[in-house]
Amino acid sequence: MPTLILAGKDLRLLMRDPRAAIILLLMPLMFIAVLGISLGEGFGEKPDDRLRISIVNLDEGLPPNAGPFPGRPWSKVVLQDLSGTADLRVEEIATREEALALVTRNQRAAVLVFEPEFSRRVHVCSFMSKGEPPPINPFYRDGISLKEVGCTLLIDPTQVVGASIAEQVAQVTMLRVVLPWMIGKAFDRVGDVEFMDAMGLELPFFIRTAFQRLDKAQMGQAVKRALTKLFDRYDLTAKTWPELTKEQPRPADAPLKLSSYVSQEGAGLLKRGAIRYQILVPSYTVMFAFFLVLTCGWLFVAERREGTLVRLRASPLTRPQIIFGKLLPCLAVALFQGFFLMIAGRILFNMSWGAAPFWIIPIVISTAFAAMGLALLVAALAKTETQVAIYGTLIVLVLAGISGSFMPRDNIPDEMQFIRLFTPHAWALDAYSQLLLNPTPEMTVVYRSIGMLMVFGLGFLIAAYFWIQLDD
C-alpha cells in the first residue's frame, strides 16, 4: 500500500508537468506527420536491385483472320520477352491517366504505353512494300519507331537518364519481337509462285525461257533448302527470337512475371494509409518511449534537491518500496504513451496494425519496461537537471541513431546491423517490422524481441537499484 500511495503521488506530479505531455505525446505525432507529408512514395518499400520497366497495356488484340501465329496479342509477346529478361522488373499500371500522373509527379522516369492498335500494327510489319493491309516498315536510323508500331513512351523530362534507359530497353525488346516476325514472314514468301516469277524476270533471256518450263513449286522448295543450308546458324522460318537464333525457346504459355502498380502514396494532406506510416509510427513510438529518461530524471533530481528523498528514507518505507514507488508511475506513463501513439497512428494516419494486431500489446509493454529501466538508471547517475538533459538526450539520440529509428533497417550499413542489436530500440523495431510490414509475420522474431526487451529492462533496473542514492 505505501508503494502505491507513493506511486500515485509521483504520477500526479508527472501529469501536472506540461513538458511531459509535449515531449511524450505531441512531439512524436508532429514528427510522424511532418515526415509522412514530406517523404516520397518509395520510403518504406523493400529495395529492389532490378531495373523497373513500367507499362500500360491498352492493346485491343490481333486483327480478324490474323492466322495461327502468334495466337495471342502482340503486347503479351512483348511482355513475355520483358519478364524473361534478367534484372528487369515489369510493373503494369492500369490506366494512361495514372501513368501520366506518376510521370508528372516525377515518380516514374518513363512509362511504355501499348496503344489499342498495337497488335494490329505489329502484325502488318513487313519488309514488303505492297500488301493488304498496307505493310509497315518500323525500322529507322535509331532503331524501331515506337510510334509506327503503336507504342507511346511517356517521359519525365527531369529524369533524362532514367527515361533513356527505359527507351533502350523498349527498343531492344521490340527488336527481338518484331525482327524475327518480319524475317519469318519474308522467308515464307521465298519459293512461292510470285517470288519465282519475279526471280525469273531477272534472269537473262536465254535462261528465262528454260526457267519458265520448270516446276516453280519444286524450284521454290530447292531455293529454300539452299538458303537454309547456307545460313545454318539461324532458322529463317522461325518467327520468334529464340527460334530464329536457335536458342532454347521460352514456352509461350509461361506465366508472366508482372507486378501490378499499387499506389502507396496515401490520401489527403497527411497521406493517410501510405506504407511509410508502417515504419514512421513504430520508429518514433520507440524513440520517444525512451525520452521518458528526461521526464522521470527531472522529477527524480528535483525531489532529491528539495530533500523529499531524504524524508522518504527517514520514514518507515524500505529502499525497495521507495524505488518501486518511483518505477510504477514511469511505467504507467510509458504504457500510456505507447498505446496512445499506436492508436493515434491508426486513427490519424490510417496505419494498419498488421495480421496479428494483439501482439502489439506485449511489444508496447516490453518496450515501456525497457524505457522505464533506462530512465531510472539515468536518474540514478545524474545529480542535476542539466546532467539529466545532457545524459538523457545524448543516450536517447545515440541509441535511436544506432538502432535504425531514423531510417529503415534495410538502409543501415552491414557493419551496423550487428552493433544495433546492443540497443533495446533495435529489438522493438524488429518486432514491429514483423507485425506491421510482413503479411505473414515470423513470430519467433517477435517472441525473441519481447524477451530481449525484458532482459534490457531488467538489466537497467538492477544497475539502477545498486547505483541509486537516496540519502543525499
pLDDT tens digits, one per residue of 459-469: 988 888 777 76
Which amino acid does the sequence have at 409? R
Specify whether the CB–CB gap between 117 and 157 falls below 8 A: no
Phi first, then psi, for residue 465 (nearest 5°) are -60, -40
Write down the pTM of the prediction. 0.62
Which amino acid does the sequence have at 314? A
The count of C-alpha atoms lying within 13 angstroms of the C-alpha of 397, restricted to the half-sphere facing its C-beta, is 6
Which amino acid does the sequence have at 323? I
φ/ψ region of 271 (left if φ > 0, alpha if ψ in -120 to 50, else beta) reads left
Specify whether the CB–CB gap between 91 and 261 falls below 8 A: yes
Q: Scan for cell 508472366, then name that residue.
A: 256
Cα 456 from Cα 422, distance rounded (Å): 9
Counting beta carbons within 10 angstroms of the beta carbon of residue 133, is it exposed (0 to 12), middle (13 to 18) or buried (19 or more)? exposed
Q: Note the helical H segments in 404-442.
A: 414-419, 424-437
Counting beta carbons within 10 angstroms of the beta carbon of residue 181, is it exposed (0 to 12), middle (13 to 18) or buried (19 or more)? buried
Domain regions of the chain by residue span: 2-43+270-467, 51-189+233-260
Cα 255 from Cα 92, distance rounded (Å): 15
Cα 432 from Cα 45, distance rounded (Å): 15
Written as tens digits, the pLDDT of the chain (472 aa) is: 565 565 565 666 666 666 666 667 788 888 888 888 777 655 655 555 578 899 999 999 998 888 888 888 999 999 988 888 878 888 999 899 999 988 887 888 899 999 999 999 999 998 887 777 888 889 888 788 999 999 999 998 888 888 888 999 999 999 999 988 888 888 877 766 666 665 555 556 555 555 555 565 666 666 667 667 766 776 777 777 677 676 665 555 556 666 666 665 666 677 777 788 888 899 989 988 888 777 777 777 766 666 665 565 556 556 666 667 777 777 888 888 899 999 999 998 888 898 889 999 999 999 999 988 888 888 777 777 777 778 778 888 888 888 888 777 666 776 777 888 889 999 999 999 899 988 888 899 999 999 999 999 999 888 887 777 655 5
Q: Note the helical H segments in 124-275.
A: 160-189, 193-201, 205-212, 216-230, 241-244
Cα 261 from Cα 93, distance rounded (Å): 5
Which amino acid does the sequence have at 362? P
Going through 58-141 in order, the beta strands assigned E by DSSP cover 88-93, 110-114, 139-140
Residue 261 grid coordinates: 502498380
Domain at 51-189+233-260: CATH code:
3.40.190
Cis amide leading into 135 (omega within 30): no
Which run of H or E residues covers position 260?
strand 258-260
Cα 145 from Cα 139, distance rounded (Å): 6
Cα 144 from Cα 133, distance rounded (Å): 20
Residues whose CB is less than 8 angstroms from the CB of residue 225 and which lie 6 or more positions away in sequence, other chains included: none
Specify whether the CB–CB gap between 367 and 384 falls below 8 A: no
